[in-house]
Structure 1
């Protein structure tokens, strides 16, 4: 196989990518419903254990920055198989940790190594037929998002029954089985980039500096995930107090409600055809803000929390798909590097949201979390509106600049992702 031939993207491979993405990314989120149990086990405060979620997201952001670009430099399957071994080591370390310091270290390492889904998404975009690219990305992302939300359900229930360590032992077994299927079924994709790692990383920075569409998607995505993470990290603490007095199982069960958002992701490409990229994204941002309005007025009732979670997750996952669809149209041969810029920003935002929410909860409890989450959401809307001004200015800046910005702004009826 040469660099001009691509292996066929069969339905089996797409399903393998989706399932793998879900089970691997779940490692980053098992800890969230378990934070209270960990705090009780190690006799520390809620604020101390909330750093576990933050360190996982920081590790993930760093993994996106230093590992994901390698997908443009090395054989994709070989890189993924090697990373699986590191994931197994990290998850087992979580299960065997005997101090809060060890949990901090292995939480960071878990995040650092669990970036395989962000190798699968560009891989799916590369191998899919142009007319199916957005739907294929949406399907793989649906698996990833089910993993994010389902992990909270699984860890909440199992942690409540068998303790938080058992969750990570089960995760180790699942990843081990999955590893053999990846070795067996995943096709190999040869790299198109011919430079050195240093040159590769310089090109990542060049794309970050010169692509307005990538900058807008990255900043908007980071702010949205900061808002999203602020809610989910604080939910277990909020449910533990009055009037709920609920345990980790109830907090984890909210992930089942949030799965509606994951299902929404599979249909984002079809819905995006009905209006321009800018206006469809603006509608989704308004929906995201509406979720926080529900939390403000109904956050002390199960009905209000359930309604808000449904709206928040639907909007969040659809916005994530729109962001990724736009950047993968810019330079198809550099999809991993573009995804690196976007996803690194995304998880830096998530870590920031988790950190700010931890401080807000410590000082002002639920009201502080509401201010933090809403504030990040408002900044995301302002970012989108500012980018609209950049797009309009580009019309007077010449065809080349306009074309680059236009890549992420399809007109009504067009796919968010351009064909190769």
Structure 2
């Protein structure tokens, strides 16, 4: 049965959006900045664990709860806040979340105890999901022929935020202390909110569903759309490989023959920024050649990167080359996958994005966990095997989706 003939039980409550009159390059770059600045807050605390331990020695055994709470909060925020973009004006939601983020950052910067810092980190994670309003907003603004480019531009900002957050955080903390990291983010959040008020257009809500039905409809969207399930599995598997590498890179660099500290791993984030810069190009390719062709190439690139990593356990040059190839591959696949899913249900882009991104981050968490186990069992080779295995799963999902589509079309 075709997507057009299979109506969701909630379809009568949704309205298909038209092109937004305020689509422009400046608006896209503003959305990219919103995505990057907001998502960076999830990663600021990772290089600061030693500083937290020094500030709260009586609670040193709980230091790991700070980044864990932030990640947990982000996953929860995606589930409960991101779908609201279909129901309310995304500009208003972005402003409200920026205000809440500013408050949480102030609490973190002045936290008198580790318990307060953990609670603030949980809140920071929840409201940093602003990025999950910015990306579908770009898809709403853009005409269909430019959707891949628009999503790629905003995703480039998001990936830059992820990759550079650790580098910026480590630098600021080294010279000004860990509290200054959160204080600086407060200033950035306030500045961003002012620009949003002045420059960001309003969005057009596309659903009148109640909050409960809005959340429940995500299950229906998942069940009804094989393309969404395929994209979620492919994207989640590739992000599992991505997370496997980045989670264990610090341990590789700390050992023979490198003997480098965590700052060195942060500098690799600058190298990885090449992937973010390639994002708009990947989006344009998806617009011209179709997203499936770009995803196929991306999977090949990610597989090649892990072969390079496996051969570069003692080579900085090899690791640098592998990082560039890995980040370009993962980012290109991400842009193409999102370009595909945003076209499935234009009136439900926030909910479709939520389904996809929850699967994406589940994949990332699984990749990190499996890579940690593999490191203890087989060292760096085990990490690379995990990365190749995740890439193979992505390849299988993509191939199966192509076969299913071919069978469906031949039977039409």
TM-score normalised over the length of structure 1: 0.86
Whether the aligned pair in 2 keeps the contact of 1:207 and 1:338 (CA below 8 Å) is yes
Give CA-to-partner distance per residue, 1:6-61, whole Å, 9 cap, x none. Answer: 44123332221111111111111223344455466656999975664444333222
Give CA-to-partner distance per residue, 1:313-344, whole Å, 9 cap, x none. Answer: 11111110011000011111111111111111
Q: Quick one: structure 1 residues 361 and 52, their matched pair in 2 at CA, closer, same or farther if it must change by over 3 Å? A: farther
SS at match of 1:74: coil
Alpha-carbon separation, structure 1, partners of 2:394 and 2:26: 37
Shift of residue 123, structure 1, vs aligned partner: 1.1
**1:227-306 to 2 correspondences below 5 Å:** 227-272=241-286, 275=289, 277-306=291-320
Shift of residue 246, structure 1, vs aligned partner: 1.8
Alpha-carbon separation, structure 1, partners of 2:130 and 2:246: 23
Give CA-to-partner distance per residue, 1:191-226, whole Å, 9 cap, x none. Answer: 121121122112111011110110011111112112
Alpha-carbon separation, structure 1, partners of 2:144 and 2:105: 37
Q: Which residue of the other structure, out of 336, 342, 346, is the alignment partner of 1:322?
A: 336
Q: Which residue of structure 2 lines up, in the alignment, with residue 332 of structure 1?
A: 346
Whether the aligned pair in 2 keeps the contact of 1:7 and 1:188 (CA below 8 Å) is no
Residue 406 of structure 2 corresponds to residue 392 of structure 1: yes
Q: Which residue of structure 1 lines up, in the alignment, with residue 370 of structure 2?
A: 356
SS at match of 2:243: helix
Q: Which residue of the other structure, out of 150, 164, 168, is the alignment partner of 1:154?
A: 168
Q: Which residue of the other structure, out of 375, 380, 383, is the alignment partner of 1:369?
A: 383
Q: Which residue of the other structure, out of 63, 66, 83, is the alignment partner of 1:69?
A: 83
**1:102-121 to 2 correspondences below 5 Å:** 102-121=116-135
Residue 356 of structure 2 corresponds to residue 342 of structure 1: yes
Whether the aligned pair in 1 keeps the contact of 2:148 and 2:286 (CA below 8 Å) is no
Alpha-carbon separation, structure 2, partners of 1:192 and 1:175: 28
**1:1-20 to 2 correspondences below 5 Å:** 6-20=20-34
Q: Quick one: structure 1 residues 253 and 314, their matched pair in 2 at CA, closer, same or farther if it must change by over 3 Å? A: same
Whether the aligned pair in 1 keeps the contact of 2:151 and 2:283 (CA below 8 Å) is no
Alpha-carbon separation, structure 2, partners of 1:359 and 1:41: 30
Give CA-to-partner distance per residue, 1:378-401, whole Å, 9 cap, x none. Answer: 222222222222222222453xxx
Measured on the aligned residues, the alpha-carbon RMSD in Å equals 2.7
Residue 147 of structure 2 corresponds to residue 133 of structure 1: yes
Q: Which residue of structure 2 lines up, in the alignment, with residue 212 of structure 1?
A: 226
**Does 207-216 or 346-355 show the bigger shift?**
346-355
**1:188-203 to 2 correspondences below 5 Å:** 188-203=202-217
Whether the aligned pair in 1 keeps the contact of 2:74 and 2:128 (CA below 8 Å) is yes
Q: Quick one: structure 1 residues 244 and 386, their matched pair in 2 at CA, closer, same or farther if it must change by over 3 Å? A: same
- Between the two proteins, the alignment pairs up a number of residues equal to 396
Q: Which residue of the other structure, out of 168, 184, 200, is the alignment partner of 2:198?
A: 184
Alpha-carbon separation, structure 2, partners of 1:269 and 1:183: 28
Whether the aligned pair in 2 keeps the contact of 1:32 and 1:152 (CA below 8 Å) is yes
TM-score normalised over the length of structure 2: 0.87
Q: Quick one: structure 1 residues 209 and 266, their matched pair in 2 at CA, closer, same or farther if it must change by over 3 Å? A: same
Whether the aligned pair in 2 keeps the contact of 1:68 and 1:119 (CA below 8 Å) is yes
Q: Which residue of structure 2 lines up, in the alignment, with residue 382 of structure 1?
A: 396
